[in-house]
Amino acid sequence: MEALKINSDRLWDSLMVMAKIGGTAKGGCCRLALTDLDKQGRELYIKWAEEAGCTVKVDAVGNIMCTRPGEDMSLPPVGTGSHLDTQPTGGKFDGVYGVLAGLEVVRTMNDQGIKTKHPIEISVWTNEEGSRFAPAMMGSGVVSGRFTLQEILDTKDVDGLRLGDELERIGFAGETPVTGRQFHAFFETHIEQGPYLEAEEKQVGVVTGGQGQRWYNAVLTGRESHAGTTPMHLRSDALIASSQLVLKVEEIAKAHPPGCGTVGFMQVMPNSRNTIPGEISMSIDLRHPIDEELTKMDEALKAAIKEIEATGPTIALDPFWYYEPIHFNEDCVNAVRQATVDLGYSHMDIIAGAGHDACYVSDFAPTSMIFTPCLDGISHNEIESTTQEECEGGCSVLLNAMLTMAEVV
């Protein structure tokens, strides 16, 4: 069969309409997981999926599954999907593109009257971002068995709101069990969120795996005291200690290229300009594509903490999330590469730097990903940008890779 193309204008229009839900003044999107805006985004998406003839189910962790029937409904579906939640200062494409690309695949199949042997299923995974509720990739993590449903429902945000209660509140605590999901194959389309495709002038990234991650919470305790009366040599300033730790995280990442290290969240207590900070809560995010290197970064972090503690403050480190580097399924990777070649796009193999739901889906199903370029490699930023042509390319590759696996009848 000749390689098919999706409807580029329709995909782009859908992206722009979805981006209005939580749209920010700087052209980005703020649609945090399980907020009223997340509810609105989910409802719009379900309306579109039903209009495209899909049946819709919601599971107990809020994952949405939209199915286009196949000729043999006893076969596992060929799946795609991503997430609709965003960072607080997120863009219009991170996650959303992968969901709406799935919808566009179904719409194109409808236009062309294509029937497949396997059903087609589009997933919206709950809380991929891990911003409001940590860690990330919760919905796919529960389905893969990495997390228990109960521990995820009991997770709280920074205001103490429980994820399970928020899920109920927005009407997405569904009835479908989280166990027993299967895919014949699963593909996730995503903007690259990094600079490599643009630098190499490639239209498509054939994603062969994802780097490993370690997430920590650290609480540093010093002693609150008066900013004007406490001599410098008698202070135990938790903010100074945490600043030293931030610099150590940077040093550790730079010592283990191409590893990354980030402190993105910090709370200063009591956060008063004339009281020396007594307690700091902060996040630490370490990543590396090679597990042994990630282990070395973890060891270096623990050594750095001992060093800083020797100067006075106590530091409680909670290493609450880890996943090892992921290697995607060879058949799925080949299906993506072949679709790219058939469509005539330039391409390169690439490793995902971000976390993606596909990383957890690959625990239980043959999986791979498709990347497309984004302007200056910038993501997790309101200015995140890509073009209609770039979105069209990744989505057409998705369509053809899915058709290969789903078998056209």
- Residues of this chain that interact with ligand GLV (CB under 6 A) are 129-130, 136, 354-355
Closest to Mn ion by CB, 81 or 95 = 95
**Distance in Å, CB of 128 to Mn ion, minimum:** 5
Q: Measured over all CA atoms, what is the biggest interatomic distance in the chain, rounded to whole angstroms? A: 81
User: Strands 260-262 and 367-372: what pairing?
Assistant: unpaired
**Distance in Å, CB of 48 to ligand GLV, minimum:** 24
Q: How far apart are CA 120 and CA 406, in angstroms?
A: 7
**Distance in Å, CB of 355 to ligand GLV, minimum:** 4
Closest to Mn ion by CB, 95 or 135 = 95
Distance of CA 29 to the CA centre of its chain: 15
- Asked if 81 is part of the footprint of Mn ion (rule: CB under 5 A), the reply reads no
Q: How far apart are CA 306 and CA 324, in angstroms?
A: 25
**Distance in Å, CB of 215 to ligand GLV, minimum:** 9
**Distance in Å, CB of 393 to Mn ion, minimum:** 18
**Distance in Å, CB of 271 to ligand GLV, minimum:** 26
Distance of CA 196 to the CA centre of its chain: 19
Record the tokens describing residue 375, joined without a space: 């302007």
Closest to ligand GLV by CB, 47 or 320 = 320
Closest to Mn ion by CB, 338 or 381 = 381
Is-contact 384 190, C-beta < 8 A? Answer: no
Binding residue count for Mn ion, defined by CB under 5 A:
2
Q: How far apart are CA 388 and CA 366, in angstroms?
A: 29
Beta strands in 96-142 (DSSP E): 120-124
User: Would you tell me the crossing angle of helices 238-255 and 291-309 to the nearest 10 degrees?
Assistant: 150
- Asked if 139 is part of the footprint of Mn ion (rule: CB under 5 A), the reply reads no
**Distance in Å, CB of 82 to ligand GLV, minimum:** 11
- Asked if 85 is part of the footprint of Mn ion (rule: CB under 5 A), the reply reads no
Report the SS3 class of residue 94.
coil
Closest to Mn ion by CB, 77 or 95 = 95
Q: How far apart are CA 389 and CA 287, in angstroms?
A: 31
Closest to ligand GLV by CB, 224 or 384 = 384
Number of residue whose CB is nearest Mn ion: 95
Report the SS3 class of residue 159.
coil
Number of residue whose CB is nearest ligand GLV: 354
Q: How far apart are CA 353 and CA 326, in angstroms?
A: 11
Radius of gyration of the chain (CA): 22
Closest to ligand GLV by CB, 37 or 52 = 37
Closest to ligand GLV by CB, 28 or 222 = 28
Q: How far apart are CA 365 and CA 261, in angstroms?
A: 30
Q: Among Mn ion, ligand GLV, none, what binds residue 4 when CB lies within 5 to 8 Å by partner kind?
A: none
Q: Among Mn ion, ligand GLV, none, what binds residue 355 when CB lies within 5 to 8 Å by partner kind?
A: ligand GLV
Identify the residue among 22, 28, 77, 95 touching Mn ion (CB under 5 A).
95
Q: How far apart are CA 405 and CA 119, in angstroms?
A: 11
Q: Among Mn ion, ligand GLV, none, what binds residue 78 when CB lies within 5 to 8 Å by partner kind?
A: none
Binding residues for Mn ion (CB under 5 A): 94-95
